Amino acid sequence: MSQEPLAERMRPTRLEDLIGQSHLTAPNTFLFRAIKNGTVPSLILWGPPGVGKTTIANIIANEVKAPFYTLSAISAGVKDIRAVIEKAKFQQGVVLFIDEIHRFNKSQQDALLGAVEKGQIRLIGATTENPSFEVNAALLSRCQVFTLNSLEKKDLEAMIQQALEHDILMKKKNVELKETEALLRLSGGDGRKLLNLLEIVVNAIPEDPIVVTNDKVTAIAQQKVAIYDKSGEQHYDIISAFIKSIRGSDPNAAVYWLARMIEGGEDVKFIARRLVILASEDIGNANPNALLLATQAFEAVKIIGYPEARIILSQCVTYLASSAKSNASYVAINQAQSIVRQEGDLPVPIHLRNAPTKLMKDLNYGKGYKYAHDYEGNFVEEEFMPDKLKGVKLYDPGRNARENDLRKNLQKMWGKKYGY
């Protein structure tokens, strides 16, 4: 027992002892009732690293008293899945927990389908990635998705206090917790990483009492904590530096941060997906080819995989970093959504409404609509906004060669109305 990391020793076995995620585990919630009644369905737990996904799975195993099997998508394959399914044929209510289920490919996920559908196993999948993108639609439709929130400062501090007060090994030490900021910052909101860092720090301070300060935590962490943790703070810091380097048009820095992620074992699809988003958010109509290239790069790396996928990623990254930039489309949709939330469901103008029935035609739906292709240049000035938003400009083309051409075209058509 003493050889287990602190985070493992402190892992709760009852819902009542879990810190955070009260929106899922409070007595009046669906999940709480399902666990207490032993009627847990197949489910996907989606949330950041170290917020309780594995813990909830273990609590379910402990409370429902069912046969419980665990697989990691990093190391398990179809053979391992089928072995569990075979065992489940001779047992009732089997629960199969798959950590990092987003790392399973389509064939591996398909191997689960029949057993989940027939109720031979109750699947619990844990993922840090959006299951809508990473879990097959057929499998996802057979599972309920529960979203876990990031742990708040009060939750993390409560975890520290709980460990110091209740862990047998920690209680034997004379620990004075002077400051917590460095522990919280270096753990990046990851409860597992927080507790293990606390244990590393406490064990590394030789004096008695053991006084924990920000300076001591930082110094010890620099010596003993891994440089890149794809599930922790470094993951988010490096992807941030990566994206900002591309946005800032520096292909050299972008490739460096790309290499850091590749060497750290980062999921190739995670990197490629961020490039697709960036191509639209930060380049947009300044260079529409950027989105095409990023999308094709995403599809290519899924087929190729490492190590050769690094070449495809490098090509895409250097192209995006070297491209002209514009966030005009990103700004436009943000403004439009803000208006929708503020103004609610404004009525569609009568002349723009569809009129598939006689009643709708009698009510003048679609009356007065001007079909653009019937006019010279395929354009005629017409009102397309709700009455309350007449003249509101949402898209303002960026100041670059391609969008300047778009601006000129919009000026010709809408200059007077929208001020292009």
* Shared domain check, 275 and 211: no
For 1-19, the pLDDT digits (tens) are: 446 889 889 999 888 889 9
Looking at per-residue pLDDT, the higher value among 231 and 371 belongs to 371
For 346-356, the pLDDT digits (tens) are: 988 988 888 88
What integer best gives the mean pLDDT of the chain? 89
8 part of a folded domain: no
* Shared domain check, 213 and 167: yes
The Cα diameter of the chain in Å comes to 88
4 part of a folded domain: no
Greatest mean pLDDT among 30-34, 163-167, 214-218, 288-292: 288-292
* Shared domain check, 140 and 30: yes
* Shared domain check, 142 and 55: yes
Average pLDDT over residues 296-304: 94
* Shared domain check, 253 and 143: no
362 part of a folded domain: yes
Q: What pLDDT score was predicted for residue 201? A: 92
For 105-144, the pLDDT digits (tens) are: 888 888 899 899 888 999 999 998 888 888 888 899 999 9
168 part of a folded domain: yes
Out of 294, 322, 350, a domain closes at: 322
Q: What pLDDT score was predicted for residue 224? A: 62
Whole domain around residue 38: which residue ranges? 21-147
Residue 62's DSSP bridge partners are: none
Determine what percent of the chain is predicted with pLDDT higher than 70.
96
* Shared domain check, 107 and 51: yes
Phi/psi-derived region of residue 390, left when phi > 0, alpha when psi is between -120 and 50, beta in every other case: beta
Q: What pLDDT score was predicted for residue 1? A: 40
Residues 6+ apart with CB under 8 A from 361: 355
Structure tokens belonging to residue 397? 């083309």
Determine what percent of the chain is predicted with pLDDT higher than 90.
49
* Shared domain check, 115 and 195: no
The DSSP annotation for 36-83 comes to HHT----EEEE-STTSSHHHHHHHHHHHHT--EEEEETTT--HHHHHH
Q: What pLDDT score was predicted for residue 2? A: 46
Average pLDDT over residues 375-396: 91
Residues 6+ apart with CB under 8 A from 309: 268, 300, 301
| Number of Cβ within a 10 Å radius of residue 187 | 28
When divided into structural domains, the chain yields a total of: 4
